[in-house]
């Protein structure tokens, strides 16, 4: 009986040991599975965190790019000249990408500069509505920065189109539509400015009045189209024979005026005679007509002949009238009788 009891106790202990081991193994397996799930959750959360971080960085970069575009647009919009606008673009670009050299190359006519023949340069054409406005050339641009550069360059191209349009509108407002020379209003505005400068600095200034001789007869004999061609040719010759600092404009009809800053009476007479001679020697082709014309000129000078623009205009006009009376095709300075 005692032996049986001992045997039963041993069996019970073995059973309990087996049962406990199974339970322990089950718990361990459950813990392993829970730990595996927890690890997967941790990995997933880490991946999601990394993804969110990347999305945040991307969003911040997008916001930065948008603000950059806004800032560059705002700053460029303040500029009225393309080179000033380009300097803003280049400074902004320098903050965003690395490069060695960046230049704006014009596309039109004699202003075109040669584009460097080098593979090191990346060339970005600035496209207008109907033509290429120019090119931005950049050296040392990294491949990873190319997209960013293109976005900024496109923004500059849009701003450049606005600047060019503004300049064209401004030029149209100050340019006589027929002759291509300055309008009377613009000429008189510049005249007042130069007169103020001459007064402050105590320097001379000359004013020319120019009239095409017997212009009415050209209109009557050949028609207004030929007359228009003559006015265009005369305005061109006037501009060809004055300095860049001088202002030439159409005063009205067949009359032209020139403001000569820092020029005394002798200098004014010299310029007037040069204009007269150039026009006298020119052969003007007007459709199927060949014309030769002459002009009469009058000169007034600040401060000797007057201190206001109206005085100087009146006295130059009087001198022009004297040139007409003297037989035309000559130059007369107010108060000084001079012949060609």
Query: Start-end ranges of CATH 3.30.70.270 in the chain?
Result: 184-333
Q: Which residues are annotated as catalytic?
A: 254
Query: Cα 298–301–303 angle (5° rounding)?
Result: 155
Q: Which of 335, 187, 309 is nearest to 257 (CA)?
A: 187
Amino acid 113: pLDDT = 54
Helices and strands in the chain: count of H runs, count of E runs: 8, 10
pLDDT score for 211: 97
Cβ neighbours around 273 below 10 Å, total: 17
Q: What is the dihedral of CA 92, 96, 101, 102, to 10 degrees?
A: -50
pLDDT confidence band for 300 (50 / 70 / 90): very high
Q: How far apart are the two ends of the chain, measured CA to CA in Å?
A: 161
Per-residue pLDDT band for 325 (boundaries 50, 70, 90) equals very high
308-317 b/e (C-beta count within 10 Å ≥ 16 → b)? ebebbbbbbb
Phi, psi of 333 (to 5 degrees): -95, 135
Low-confidence winner among 66-70, 187-191, 271-275 (lowest mean pLDDT): 66-70
Choices 2.60.40.10, 3.30.70.270, 1.10.1740.10, 1.10.3470.10: CATH for 184-333: 3.30.70.270
- The 8 Å CB, 24+ separation contacts for 191-197 are 191/247, 191/259, 191/309, 192/309, 194/247, 194/259, 194/261, 195/302, 195/308, 195/309, 195/312, 197/261
The whole-angstrom separation of Cα 269 and Cα 290 is 29
Q: Which pLDDT band holds residue 134 (cuts at 50, 70, 90)?
A: confident
């Amino acid at each position: 009986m005692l032996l049986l009891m001992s045997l039963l106790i041993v069996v019970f202990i073995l059973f309990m040991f087996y049962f406990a081991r199974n339970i322990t193994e089950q718990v361990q397996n459950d813990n392993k599975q829970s730990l595996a799930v927890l690890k997967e959750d941790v990995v997933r959360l880490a991946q999601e965190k990394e993804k969110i971080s990347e999305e945040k960085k991307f969003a911040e970069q997008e916001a930065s790019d948008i603000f950059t575009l806004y800032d560059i647009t705002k700053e460029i919009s303040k500029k009225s000249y393309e080179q000033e606008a380009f300097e803003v673009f280049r400074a902004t670009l320098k903050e965003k990408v690395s490069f060695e050299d960046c230049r704006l190359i014009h596309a039109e006519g004699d202003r075109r500069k040669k584009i460097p023949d080098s593979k090191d340069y990346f060339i970005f054409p600035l496209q207008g509505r109907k033509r290429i406005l120019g090119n931005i050339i950049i050296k040392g641009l990294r491949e990873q920065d190319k997209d960013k550069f293109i976005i900024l360059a496109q923004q500059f191209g849009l701003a450049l189109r606005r600047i060019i349009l503004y300049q064209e509108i401004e030029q149209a407002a100050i340019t006589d539509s027929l002759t291509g020379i300055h309008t009377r209003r613009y000429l008189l505005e510049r005249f007042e400015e130069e007169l103020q400068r001459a007064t402050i600095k105590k320097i001379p200034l000359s004013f020319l009045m120019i009239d095409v001789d017997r212009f009415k007869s050209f209109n009557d004999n050949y028609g207004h189209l030929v007359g228009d061609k003559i006015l265009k040719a005369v305005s061109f010759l006037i501009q060809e024979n004055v300095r860049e600092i001088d202002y030439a404009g159409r005063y009205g009809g067949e009359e032209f005026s020139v403001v000569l800053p820092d020029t005394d009476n002798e200098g004014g007479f010299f310029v007037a005679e040069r204009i007269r001679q150039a026009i006298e020697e020119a052969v003007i082709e007007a459709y199927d007509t060949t014309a030769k014309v002459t002009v009469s000129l009058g000169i007034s000078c600040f401060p000797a002949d007057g201190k206001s623009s109206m005085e100087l205009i009146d006295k130059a006009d009087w001198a022009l009238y004297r040139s007409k009376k003297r037989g035309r095709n000559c130059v007369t300075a107010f108060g000084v009788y001079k012949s060609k």
